[in-house]
Structure 1
Amino acid sequence: MAKPAKSPQKNRDTPLFSEVVRLAIPNKGRIAAPIMDLVEKSGLHLAETGERRLITKTLDPHVEILFARPVDIPEYVATGAADLGITGHDLVIERESDVEELLDLQFGKAKLVLAVHEDSGITSVKQLEGKKIATEFPVITRTYFARHKVKVNVVIVGGACEATPHLGIADAIIDLSSSGTTLKTNRLRVIDEVLTTSTQLIANRESLKTKKDKIEEIHLALESVIRARGQCYLMMNVKRSSLDAVKRLLPGLSGPTVMDVASSENLVAVHAVVNEERVYSLINALKRAGAKDILVMAIQRMIR
């Protein structure tokens, strides 16, 4: 038997990140656009190739993007076809994929709920013994009912799960709900919450060891964009005599930053990060307290 060829020995000129990290993201669906926006804002800009391919390079030569169905991403990451992936926690659980969840991206939030028609007399899980349950999540559904020691018949559907009780296909459903509007529209009533989910950055366990540095870099880049969401950067000039009054209005992350200004008016420059929901009412309060030359700037990334 021929001996396997030895891997070429790395020399001193080998770059820090000598291997490519592949990040799998959804190619379609309601979270595809927000994820693409997150990736771009993190600095992982797609290379200009004229068209989007299944595997697309980024401007970072050590990172490439794999576009895939959200439901397939957990397995792509678990098997090493991708080192990282962005998909729903619910899909990770449904596919029973052995991956590490690194970061909650804090969007795509929803609940997987057990619901029945509002005219149904069913009010508890136990009353569903022997009944038909329609779902796109058969693994989660079977696990849920096994935990409650209730035997049911699982009907797997590919969509429009909420219509099945009306059509007589099922007695109840287990389906995702973000606002509850679709359930109400279809006259469905929730009797239990099965799972809470949101979009996650997931990683292959072996890649976390072999490509640790680059994965941490990508992790930090994505996390910094998430931290910056809903935050604004305020800059203003304040007379030193009014500084205490202004500081009381600006808690910021660790308190405002105060710097001397080269001015004959005895001014200081005050910088602070505040929640953008406060900006509307805060501006007038700051002016009344003695601030002037106020600038409000968006924050793209924030690293602690």
Structure 2
Amino acid sequence: MKLKIAVPSKGRISNPSINILEKAGLGLKYNNNRKLVSKTHNENIDIMFARASDIPEFVSDGIVDMGISGIDLIKESESEVIELTDLNFGKTRLVLASPEDSKINSINDVTSEMTIATEFPTLTKKYFKNHSLEPKIVKLSGSTEIAPFIGVADLITDLTSTGTTLKMNHLKIIDTILESTIVLITNKESFENKKPLVEAVSSSVKGVIDAVGKKLIMMNVKSKDLDAVRKLMPSMEGPTVSEVLSKEKTVAIQAVVDEEEVFELVNNLRKAGAKDILVVPIERII
């Protein structure tokens, strides 16, 4: 049983996608996007590099079993896929924007006589249909921001993370059409017929995501100080306590904690009697 996973060959989500797969244990043997396919350290799993916009359809059509893509591209292509895991990066919004000196300040100011420029005609058309509007939709392949200023369109719909680029181009956001993030996807046939491999990849990737911002703290504590130390320990399930073979009555404690808690926690633990404190990175939490 072979499994093929499609990842973007270039662009803003390519390297983060590859990094997550490698942290999940699927190291690429040929990490070169000039190659169409790369084997991994698992002989049953290959990685295929593709254009980000093609990946939802490749997964939906069964050309590949799994893929990494944005919700915006999935919805735009109307691909039938199963979303497995949110990869927790690449958050963006598809927004409706007008020139900052325009009198168009909300969807209520838009009429069907207006023209909209976009790279997402399907999502844009659906959005306006939901508002009982049928403006002319002009599909552009790039530089959408300039469309209102060269007479191509009255408004645009475009992706933005912070809105800075739109503001720099003298555009104002008047509505949000869709919020998007990067997700791991599969198709129904692969999910059913290759379930063990699909679930293994999905759980490993989710383990990487869950480990972000987490640290493992380990320490030795004298038995008399155990209660004081244990009260300080935040943890997923409560700290793990085990006996240390030593002359003194000592126990070892370990727990998973949030990274932002580490500085204050370590100092409080030391004051409570903990010693030999180790803070260790976590690659995955399964």
Is this a same-fold pair by TM over 0.5? yes
Residues 162 and 186 in structure 1, CA contact (< 8 A), matched pair in contact too: yes
Taking structure 2 as the reference length, what is the TM-score of the superposition?
0.95
Displacement, 1:48?
Answer: 5.1
Distance 1:262 1:120, change over 3 A: same
Contact kept in structure 2, 1:234 and 1:271, CA below 8 Å: yes
The CA deviation at 1:101 is 1.1
The two structures have a TM-score, normalised by structure 1, of 0.90
**1:211 corresponding residue in structure 2:** 194
Q: How many residues align?
A: 285
Distance verdict in 2 for CA 1:275–1:138, change over 3 Å: same
- Tell me whether 1:79 sits opposite 2:79 in the alignment: no
Secondary structure (helix, strand or coil) at the match of 2:126 reads: helix
Report deviation, 1:50: 8.4
Alignment of 1:30-109 (within 5 A): 30-47=12-29, 53-109=35-91
Cα 1:207–1:50 shift into 2, 3 Å: closer
Task: Name stretches of at least 5 consecutive residues in structure 1 with no aligned partner.
Answer: 1-18
Q: Does the 8 Å contact 1:125/1:150 carry over to 2?
A: no
C-alpha contact (below 8 Å) 2:33/2:49 kept by paired residues: no
2:108 aligned with 1:123: no
TM-aligned CA deviation for residue 46 of structure 1: 1.6
Deviation sequence 1:86-126 (CA, Å, 0-9, x none): 00011000001111111111111111111112211112213
Correspondence 1:190-229 to 2 at 5 A: 190-229=173-212
Residue identity over aligned pairs, in percent, reads 47
Q: Is the 8 A contact 2:5 2:67 kept in 1?
A: yes
Q: Deviations over 1:61-86 (max 9, x none)?
A: 11111100000001101111001010
Within a 5 Å distance, the mapping from 1:185-264 to structure 2 comes to 185-264=168-247
Deviates more, 1:43-52 or 1:22-31: 43-52
Asked if structure 1 preserves the Cα contact closer than 8 Å seen for 2:84 and 2:183, the reply is: yes
Residues 84 and 185 of structure 2 are in contact (CA less than 8 Å); yes or no, is this contact kept in structure 1?
A: yes
- Whether contact under 8 Å (1:258, 1:271) holds in the other structure is yes
Q: Deviations over 1:240-259 (max 9, x none)?
A: 22222222221210111111
Contact 2:30–2:38 (CA under 8 A) maintained in structure 1:
no
Counterpart CA distance in 2 for 1:246 and 1:118 is 57
Query: Does 1:139 find its partner at 2:122?
Result: yes
For residues 126-151 of structure 1, the C-alpha deviation after alignment (integer angstroms, 9 at most, x for no partner) is 32211111111000000100111112
- 1-structure distance, mates of 2:273, 2:147: 63
Q: Which amino acid aligns with 2:125?
A: R
Closer, same or farther: CA 277–146 of 1 in aligned 2, 3 Å:
same
**Over residues 252-304 of structure 1, what are the superposed CA-to-partner deviations in whole Å (9 max), with x where a residue is unaligned?**
1011111111223322111010111111222212111221111011001111x
Q: For 1:100 and 1:50, locate their aligned partners in 2 and report how far apart those are by CA, in whole Å.
A: 28
Decide whether the 8 Å contact of 1:24 with 1:84 is kept in 2.
Answer: yes
In the alignment, structure 2 segments of 5+ residues that lack a partner are none
Q: Tell me, what secondary structure is at the counterpart of 2:53?
A: coil
Q: Which amino acid aligns with 2:256?
A: V
8 A contact 1:126–1:150 mirrored in 2: no
What is the letter of the counterpart of residue 26 of structure 2?
L
Q: Aligned-pair distance for 1:168? A: 3.1
Distance in 1 (CA, whole Å) between partners of 2:252 and 2:199 is 35
